[in-house]
Amino acid sequence: MMSELITVARPYATAAFNFAVEHQNVDHWQCMLTFASAVSSDQQIATYLSGTLVAAEPLSSLFNLICGNYLDQNGQNLIKILAENRRLSILPIILQQFIQLRNTYEGIIEVNVISTHMLSNRQLKNIYLSMQKNLSCKIKLNCTFDQSIIGGIIIRIDDLVIDGSVRNRLERLKNVLQS
């Protein structure tokens, strides 16, 4: 299901990104998409968007009214197209795709670091420098917390996972002891 939504969202994200690059306003487009995505994710708005009885024109008008000055004319046109195609609910996925396109364009790789607690600035700097050296490109660190890993860290870069968690070590030990 998620892969289908990504497939549907990709052409919209690509068109928005290419337009933003052509007009040299990628930051502005990312801000517009971030705001529109937040609006579409609101519980009341999401319920309204999923209704089939509302015509596309009032839907896009209402959405653009809620977004107000956060959307320029081009952003409003995107909302109109999404509303006509009943796709306003995929705005968060369009935003994710847009950010991925931007990172690729700017040569940035996102590195997701998962730990049980907040890492110190020194630890983050060491991870950043190590990843930058090994990947030979710009790095963007995203840090999240997960108590279930018990200790250590997990580093995810696209499909690559470096699992240095205590939970993983215990699982490996359990497998060795059971074999």
pLDDT in tens, 9-51: 999 999 999 999 999 999 999 999 999 999 988 888 777 776 6
Given a cut of 70, whether residue 128 has pLDDT beyond it is yes
Same domain, 85 and 150: no
pLDDT score for 51: 64
Same domain, 44 and 116: no
Same domain, 97 and 139: no
pLDDT score for 54: 60
Q: What would the DSSP string read from start to end of 69-83? A: GGS-HHHHHHHHHHH
Same domain, 62 and 96: yes
> Between 84 and 98, where is the model more confident?
98
Same domain, 18 and 90: yes
Number of domains in the chain: 2
**For position 91, which CATH number holds?**
1.10.520.20
Given a cut of 90, whether residue 81 has pLDDT beyond it is yes
Chosen domain end from 66, 85, 103: 103
- What is the C-alpha to C-alpha distance for residues 121 and 126, in angstroms, rounded to an integer? 9
Given a cut of 90, whether residue 142 has pLDDT beyond it is yes
Same domain, 14 and 90: yes
- What is the C-alpha to C-alpha distance for residues 169 and 167, in angstroms, rounded to an integer? 5
> Of the ranges 40-54, 66-80, 146-160, which one carries the lowest mean pLDDT score?
40-54
pLDDT score for 28: 96
Same domain, 94 and 54: yes
Same domain, 97 and 121: no
Range of the domain at 140: 107-178
Q: How many CB atoms lie within 10 A of CB 38?
A: 15
Same domain, 58 and 97: yes
Chosen domain end from 47, 68, 103: 103
- What is the C-alpha to C-alpha distance for residues 173 and 16, in angstroms, rounded to an integer? 49
Same domain, 88 and 22: yes
* Percentage of the chain exceeding pLDDT 90: 57
Same domain, 59 and 30: yes
Chosen domain end from 103, 126, 153: 103
